[in-house]
């Protein structure tokens, strides 16, 4: 049990904090039984205030930590360290590891949470203290006591610890839900295309059709489309000759109507509904999402048009938390602080969403991507504070989504504050990082590392969206491989006609389906406290599970870029670094979930790029060497004995990054003299398996096929296009005992 005695906080039998001030208190939750000894830390101040900074004491020796912190108002990134002084402001998750002399690991988790109308975050101090900031965002909303401000828990498995803690917190707080308790949007299983990087705000119906047409003709049909920013009726009030001034006002544009702008009304299409109907009928698009900001548009709504007056809007000026400006300032916030935000009356926000979403639904739109969500934390003054305002907007948004769209079709974006995260009762998908930036070569490795680490936390509450990418780009293979492991959606933002189908066809089946893994892709346990971008020695390994196999992606993110915070004085000079590390089947957590009682720990490890096959026991290791910006994906298939004489492990479609994601079912019939292994596998493609012995016959959909079997046990044959609507192939592999 966690305990606080004479200024010492002990978790799991080890001291975590020392010299905690007398004002700090520990409270155990009574609502939920806690096998790990979970508790809350709070503190009391001498006088009420809307913002407190409380010391929790100093970090005891022997601990190293991983912080997920907001480096700018919208987004989190990871950082690692050992001293409390290094914990950045706006830390929203702190995972710590301590090892005994015998090497046994203990993990402690600290989650600053919402407590009434206040929101907590962690930070270090120059005096090497760990502090928590406790703020309401409204000078009129004050307290002198933080009761349940920082949740703490401990255990010997960091992934189990995170899951159990988030589940526990969701029941205690009641303001958000664990991802297992949410409806998952169906579009995640289909390949998508987003208009943003293809057109930016110049998106138009002709361009959308051109993009869909070129992707379909190339064999990667998008069944999911996001019409991003650029479709709405907006205005820039600030008419000035000075171009520099105009550039500052880009983020101050305001919404003036709920319907589409003139680009979507004219000769090419009569209106938005006509366009949506056409692209669904002509290009087989199943799901059309459309973009809008949480508060209407970047600068909110214009307060004067009749279409907006009914929502009682007012112009307000954002006030950022000291924690935000302690890290990186953001150009959008600089603009909004100067020109203000037209905010809708919280009492009318449901009506606003319902009016907009009911219109979009009536013209065939299936869901929305809702952006700029964290701006609410800066607008709490006069509205009861940041938490109250965020929850009012979030609740109204989720209610409108449920009323107007089927399937919980919502993507949350720019929403990495815990005000939003811990207020998401229904929202099931959230962007996991800052945008993919095709013109920034030093940002590519940062993106992959960030989405993987952020998914450790976000993946317990949302399906993390690892964002779009370009299939024709110097980093396309790197991004594509990562998306295959993400457990979330896969979509690109290619310009029409600018595609690399050799990359796309490793992600997308001809019918538009993707092979989505079971969980959020996360760093392996031995990577959690390393810096995979800048320490010059660590590879990034990302693990996930499929129905019948594990998968590990290994990425060399070193040498290609620097973390954007803290800001470095000297510009980064990219270098190529070759790094050697190791990989083990045991890097995949939860293998026992899919193994069954008849597995003895033997695995077949298939390397996608090198097409090599190895046989390893669960805890054995193999060497991996990669140069900067290269990667390899390993399918970890479980070898089982069928009929007492056949050692076999299905790999899946070995022409796809996530080969094992194609497997739907594996059974067998027969006896000790003859055995038939029956597999349902998605296709078409190249089916592969590990088979210690050569089979007699391989058949697909009752037709015998030619197969290859090599000395290392690699069995392979083609799955042609099938006639079934779901493209499931029924495979039978016959063995006879010699």
- Are both 161 and 185 inside the same structural domain? no
Rounded to an integer, what distance in angstroms lies between the CA atom of residue 79 and that of residue 97?
Answer: 14
Domains in the chain: how many in total?
Answer: 2
The 3-state DSSP class for residue 343 equals: strand
pLDDT at 332: 94
Backbone angles phi, psi at 180, to 5 degrees: -70, -15
pTM: 0.97
- Are both 226 and 110 inside the same structural domain? no
Binning the chain into helix, strand and coil, the percentages to the nearest 5 are: 25, 35, 40
End-of-domain residue from the set 412, 431, 450: 431
End-of-domain residue from the set 143, 173, 203: 173
Residue 129 to residues 92, 111, 132: CA-CA distances in angstroms? 17, 17, 10
- Are both 218 and 352 inside the same structural domain? yes
| Tokens representing residue 225 in the block | 């489309």
Domain membership of residue 582 (yes or no) is no
pLDDT at 87: 98
pLDDT at 570: 66
For residue 124, give its domain range.
3-173
pLDDT at 247: 72
- Are both 83 and 10 inside the same structural domain? yes
Residues of the chain falling short of pLDDT 50: none
Q: Encode pLDDT of 64-90 as tens digits.
A: 999 999 999 999 999 999 999 999 999
List all residues 6 or more positions away from 29 whose beta carbon is below 8 Å from its beta carbon. 38, 39, 40, 148, 168, 172
pLDDT at 572: 72
Task: Give the domain CATH number at 337.
Answer: 3.20.20.70
Q: Encode pLDDT of 669-682 as tens digits.
A: 998 899 999 999 99
pLDDT at 249: 87
Query: Beta strand pairing status for 410-412 and 367-371?
Result: parallel
- Are both 394 and 257 inside the same structural domain? yes
| Tokens representing residue 33 in the block | 């039984």
- Are both 51 and 142 inside the same structural domain? yes
- Are both 74 and 22 inside the same structural domain? yes
Domain membership of residue 62 (yes or no) is yes
- Are both 169 and 190 inside the same structural domain? no
- Are both 220 and 100 inside the same structural domain? no
């Amino acid at each position: 049990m966690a305990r606080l005695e004479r200024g010492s906080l002990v978790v799991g039998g080890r001291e975590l904090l020392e010299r905690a001030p007398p004002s700090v208190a520990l409270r155990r939750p009574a609502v939920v039984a806690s096998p790990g000894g979970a508790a809350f830390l709070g503190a009391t101040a001498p006088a009420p205030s809307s913002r407190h900074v409380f010391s929790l004491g100093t970090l005891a020796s022997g601990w190293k930590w991983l912080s997920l912190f907001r480096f700018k108002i919208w987004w989190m990134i990871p950082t690692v360290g050992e001293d409390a002084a290094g914990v950045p402001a706006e830390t929203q998750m702190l995972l710590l590891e301590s090892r005994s002399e015998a090497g046994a690991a203990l993990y402690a988790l600290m989650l600053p949470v919402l407590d009434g109308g206040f929101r907590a975050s962690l930070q270090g101090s120059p005096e090497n203290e760990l502090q928590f900031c406790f703020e309401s965002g409204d000078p009129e909303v004050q307290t002198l006591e933080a009761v349940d401000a920082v949740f703490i828990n401990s255990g010997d498995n960091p992934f189990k610890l995170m899951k159990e803690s988030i589940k526990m917190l969701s029941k205690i707080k009641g303001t958000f839900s664990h991802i297992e308790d949410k409806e998952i949007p169906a579009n995640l299983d289909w390949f998508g295309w987003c208009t943003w990087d293809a057109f930016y705000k110049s998106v138009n119906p002709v361009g959308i059709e051109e993009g869909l047409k070129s992707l379909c003709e190339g064999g990667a049909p998008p069944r999911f489309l996001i019409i991003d920013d650029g479709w709405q009726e907006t205005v820039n009030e600030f008419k000035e000759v000075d171009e520099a001034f105009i550039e500052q006002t880009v983020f101050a544009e305001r919404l003036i109507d709920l319907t589409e702008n003139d680009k979507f009304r004219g000769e090419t299409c009569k209106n938005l509904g006509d366009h949506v109907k056409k692209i669904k009928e002509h290009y087989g698009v199943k799901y059309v999402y459309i973009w809008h900001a949480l508060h209407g548009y970047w600068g909110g709504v214009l307060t004067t048009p009749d279409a907006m007056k009914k929502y009682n809007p007012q112009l307000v000026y954002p006030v950022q938390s000291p924690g935000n400006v302690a890290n990186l300032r953001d150009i959008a916030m600089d603009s909004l602080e100067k020109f203000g935000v037209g905010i809708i009356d919280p009492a009318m926000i449901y009506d606003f969403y319902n009016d907009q979403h009911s219109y979009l639904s009536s013209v065939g739109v299936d869901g929305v991507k809702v952006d700029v969500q964290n701006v609410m934390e800066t607008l709490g003054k006069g509205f009861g504070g940041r938490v109250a305002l965020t929850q009012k907007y979030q609740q109204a948004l989720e209610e409108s989504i449920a009323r107007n769209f089927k399937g919980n079709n919502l993507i949350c974006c720019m929403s990495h504050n815990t005000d939003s995260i811990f207020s998401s009762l229904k929202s099931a998908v959230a962007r996991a990082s800052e945008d993919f930036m095709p013109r920034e070569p030093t940002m590519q490795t940062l993106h992959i590392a960030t989405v993987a680490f952020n998914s450790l936390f976000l993946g317990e509450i949302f399906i993390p969206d690892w964002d779009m990418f370009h299939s024709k780009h110097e980093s396309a293979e790197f991004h594509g491989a990562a998306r295959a492991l993400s457990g979330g959606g896969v979509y690109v933002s290619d310009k029409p006609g600018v595609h690399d189908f050799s990359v796309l066809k490793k992600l997308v089946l001809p019918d538009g389906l993707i092979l989505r893994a079971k969980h959020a892709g996360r760093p392996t346990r031995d990577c959690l406290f390393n810096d995979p971008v800048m320490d010059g020695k660590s590879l990034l390994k990302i693990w996930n599970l499929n129905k019948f196999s594990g998968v590990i992606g290994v990425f060399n993110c070193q040498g290609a870029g620097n973390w954007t915070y803290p800001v470095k004085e000297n510009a980064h000079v990219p270098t190529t670094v070759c790094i050697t590390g190791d990989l083990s089947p045991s890097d995949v957590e939860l293998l026992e979930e899919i193994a069954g009682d008849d597995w003895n720990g033997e695995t077949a490890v298939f390397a996608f790029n090198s097409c090599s096959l190895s046989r390893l026991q669960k805890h054995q290791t193999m060497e991996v060497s990669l140069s900067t910006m290269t990667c390899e994906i390993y399918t970890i298939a479980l070898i089982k004995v069928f009929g007492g004489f056949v050692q076999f492990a299905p790999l899946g479609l070995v022409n796809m990054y996530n080969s094992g994601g194609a497997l739907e079912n594996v059974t067998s019939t027969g006896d000790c003299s003859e055995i038939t292994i029956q597999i349902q596998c998605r296709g078409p493609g190249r089916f592969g398996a590990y088979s210690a012995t050569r089979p007699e016959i391989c058949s697909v959909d009752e037709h015998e096929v030619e197969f290859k079997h090599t000395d290392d046990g690699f069995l392979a044959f083609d799955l042609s296009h099938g006639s079934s609507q779901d493209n499931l192939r029924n495979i039978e592999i016959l063995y006879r005992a010699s």
